[in-house]
Amino acid sequence: MSTKHVVIYITGGIAVYKAAQLVREFVKAGAQVKVAMTDAAQTFVSPQTFAVLTKNPVYTDFSANQQREFVSHIELADWTDIAVVVPATANIIAKMALGIADTFVSTALLATAAPKYVIPAMNEKMWQNAATKRNLATLKNDGIAVMEPAEGFLAEGYSGKGRMPEPLDIFKWINNLSAEKQDLAGRKVLISAGPTVEPIDPVRYLSNHSSGKMGYALANAAAKRGAEVTLVSGPTRLTKPAGVKFIQIQAAAELQETMEKNFSKSDIVIMAAAVSDYHVDQVAPQKIKKNGQDLELHLVSNPDILAGLGQIKKGQILVGFAAETENLLANGNKKLQKKNLDLLVLNDVSRTDIGFNAEDNEVRLLRARREPRLIAKSSKDQIANQIFDEILNLA
Ligand SMILES: Cc1cc2nc3c(=O)[nH]c(=O)nc-3n(C[C@H](O)[C@H](O)[C@H](O)COP(=O)(O)O)c2cc1C
């Protein structure tokens, strides 16, 4: 928790006073905490309480604050590793479900891409209302974690469901859900990513549109889950993932040599690089001058690196990627078998909203003698984690 930036959004329920204790739990655990409050929340407890506990000014509206953030809702959203809404009123739950951005709190929440944790607290009748149930189902469907309220004595003077759970229980719930799994600890993972670049002459080359995002997401995910990661990458614009051994390559031949050299000491090998199928037979030693004539290049087939690794495999889990535009499953299954793979990640590159260069992807995971598993459209980071979940199922 000590490295985390936690933003606590406090909305106007009677349980606001208990949020102070939760803020203390996060501060005690070493997190950096910032608080934002709705107008209704401020009628229950003064922002000063939270400013003192967090040693940070409290966000109450859009005006430039003491930190001189002029677009403060976006700055706060970008700073966030974890967003917690506590106590979450029926009102903020409805706004989050609909994407309403009419106050600082609702706008910053809409702008936040980090994981969100919602702790509803309200009167039992509001909790039971069909609209609240519908809105909570929408939040869960959007990937937001919702904590069940406790049953017990309500502020209204009777017992029922809707009570905010105890701050320490909330802290433990969030801590458990947000902890990075270390289930790849001790595994050596070798990943190739990005395009290869086949030279024509000293200034020109043949390549492809691979951004490297999927391979880098895999390297990041594996490193976070405790693996010892080697990333072999063609040229990309991406930042090298932290805590990863990085090897830069250019041509397919160099990629092949590097992968084969590192293969025997790896447990899991993933070929996510988009390897050129051909290279230029005779690379010109000097820049080819234009002379008004057409130019013919003789292209020679590159070796199938993945199939080669499949042949020398001894206990490694070998994962390939396939980009197909037609007969997806039939072509994918053929590759799985022919290349002796344990898992094939199948991309439909006929779609422009996923795959090459896109932020999101939608893939099918193919395994021998199993039904293909569809991973619905989601971020490449999420897909990467699902691929490792599947790999761990294989092992
Ligand atoms: C004394 C009092 C207690 C309230 N307690 C709750 C509550 O526990 N949960 C809730 O959803 N709304 C509660 N409300 C109603 C909210 O304050 C109201 O819906 C408000 O518009 C919420 O605004 P916000 O979501 O922007 O904070 C309470 C109102 C009052 C006056």
Same-domain pairing of 364 and 386: yes
Greater model confidence, 160 or 166 = 166
Same-domain pairing of 160 and 307: no
Which residue has the least CA distance to atom 10 on ligand 1? 89
Task: Give me the mean pLDDT over the 190-205 stretch.
Answer: 97
Query: Which region, left, alpha or beta, applies to residue 235 given φ > 0 means left and ψ of -120 to 50 means alpha?
Result: beta
Name the token pair of 41.
């929340």
Same-domain pairing of 34 and 150: yes
- Confidence bin at 177 (pLDDT 50/70/90): confident
Residue 289 belongs to some domain of the structure? no
23 C-alpha vs ligand 1 centroid, how far in Å?
Answer: 20
Domain end marker among 157, 178, 199: 178
89 C-alpha vs ligand 1 centroid, how far in Å?
Answer: 6
To the question of whether residue 303 is assigned a binding role by annotation, the answer is yes
129 C-alpha vs ligand 1 centroid, how far in Å?
Answer: 15
Asked if pLDDT for residue 67 goes beyond 70, the answer is no
- Cβ pair 229, 252 in contact under 8 A: no
Tens of pLDDT along 77-115? 999 999 999 999 999 999 999 999 999 999 999 999 999
Same-domain pairing of 273 and 213: yes
d(CA 255, CA 277): 13
Residue 148 belongs to some domain of the structure? yes
What atom in ligand 1 is closest to the CA of residue 95? Answer: 25
- Confidence bin at 1 (pLDDT 50/70/90): low
Long-range contacts of 334-340 (CB under 8 A, 24+ apart): 336/366, 336/367, 336/368, 337/368, 338/307, 339/304, 339/306, 339/307, 339/310, 340/307, 340/310, 340/311, 340/313
Residue type, 380: K
pLDDT at 3: 57
To the question of whether residue 339 is assigned a binding role by annotation, the answer is yes
Name the token pair of 360.
């999101």
Same-domain pairing of 275 and 370: yes
d(CA 229, CA 189): 5
32 C-alpha vs ligand 1 centroid, how far in Å?
Answer: 27
Length of the chain in residues, anyone?
395
359 C-alpha vs ligand 1 centroid, how far in Å?
Answer: 38
d(CA 210, CA 203): 20
To the question of whether residue 314 is assigned a binding role by annotation, the answer is no
Active site residue 208: yes
pLDDT at 180: 72
Residue 290 belongs to some domain of the structure? no
Tens of pLDDT along 264-314? 999 999 999 999 999 999 999 999 999 999 999 999 999 999 999 999 999
- Phi/psi at 262 (5° precision): -95, -10
Which of 89, 104, 163 to probe ligand 1 with, by most ligand atoms within 8 A of CB? 89
Greater model confidence, 361 or 27 = 27
To the question of whether residue 381 is assigned a binding role by annotation, the answer is no
What atom in ligand 1 is closest to the CA of residue 164? Answer: 8
- Cβ pair 293, 243 in contact under 8 A: no
Residue 363 belongs to some domain of the structure? yes
Residue 75: C-alpha distances to residues 10, 62, 101 (Å): 18, 11, 16
Same-domain pairing of 164 and 209: no
CB atoms closer than 10 angstroms to residue 157 = 6
Q: Which one from 56, 129, 208, 262 is the annotated catalytic residue?
A: 208
Residue 378: exposure state from Cβ atoms within 10 A (0-12, 13-18, ≥19): middle
Which of 14, 17, 106, 156 to probe ligand 1 with, by most ligand atoms within 8 A of CB? 14
Interior angle at CA 32, CA 26 and CA 33, nearest 5? 65
Residue 183 belongs to some domain of the structure? no
What atom in ligand 1 is closest to the CA of residue 93? Answer: 25
Domain end marker among 126, 160, 178: 178
- Confidence bin at 353 (pLDDT 50/70/90): low
Residue 354 belongs to some domain of the structure? yes
Asked if pLDDT for residue 355 goes beyond 60, the answer is no
- 63-67, 315-319, 390-394: the lowest-pLDDT one: 63-67
Same-domain pairing of 171 and 141: yes
d(CA 72, CA 112): 12
To the question of whether residue 344 is assigned a binding role by annotation, the answer is no
Q: How many domains does the chain have?
A: 2
Greater model confidence, 66 or 46 = 46
Nearest CA among 260, 228, 256, 234 for reference residue 247: 234
Q: Which alpha helices (DSSP H) does 122-212 contain, by range?
A: 124-128, 130-141, 167-178
The residues lining ligand 1, judged by C-beta closer than 6 Å to any ligand atom, are 11-15, 38, 40-41, 89-92, 121-122, 126
Residue 36 belongs to some domain of the structure? yes
To the question of whether residue 304 is assigned a binding role by annotation, the answer is yes
Domain end marker among 131, 159, 178: 178
Residue with tokens 């199922």, as numbered in its chain: 393
127 C-alpha vs ligand 1 centroid, how far in Å?
Answer: 12
Same-domain pairing of 320 and 363: yes
- 14-28, 140-154, 313-327, 336-350: the lowest-pLDDT one: 140-154
Which residue has the least CA distance to atom 16 on ligand 1? 12
Handedness of CA 127, 128, 134, 137 (dihedral sign): positive
To the question of whether residue 18 is assigned a binding role by annotation, the answer is no
Same-domain pairing of 174 and 212: no
Residue 285 belongs to some domain of the structure? no
Which residue has the least CA distance to atom 19 on ligand 1? 91
- Taking the alpha carbons at both ends of the chain, their separation in whole angstroms is 30
What atom in ligand 1 is closest to the CA of residue 40? Answer: 27
Same-domain pairing of 88 and 219: no
Interior angle at CA 385, CA 384 and CA 386, nearest 5? 90
Nearest CA among 179, 180, 170 for reference residue 26: 170
Which of 38, 91, 135, 146 to probe ligand 1 with, by most ligand atoms within 8 A of CB? 91
CB atoms closer than 10 angstroms to residue 390 = 18
What is the CATH classification number for the domain harbouring 388?
A: 3.40.50.10300
Same-domain pairing of 79 and 218: no
105 C-alpha vs ligand 1 centroid, how far in Å?
Answer: 14
Residues of the domain holding 363: 188-279+299-394
Residue 213: exposure state from Cβ atoms within 10 A (0-12, 13-18, ≥19): buried
What is the CATH classification number for the domain harbouring 138?
A: 3.40.50.1950
pLDDT at 334: 93
Which residue has the least CA distance to atom 7 on ligand 1? 13
Same-domain pairing of 163 and 200: no
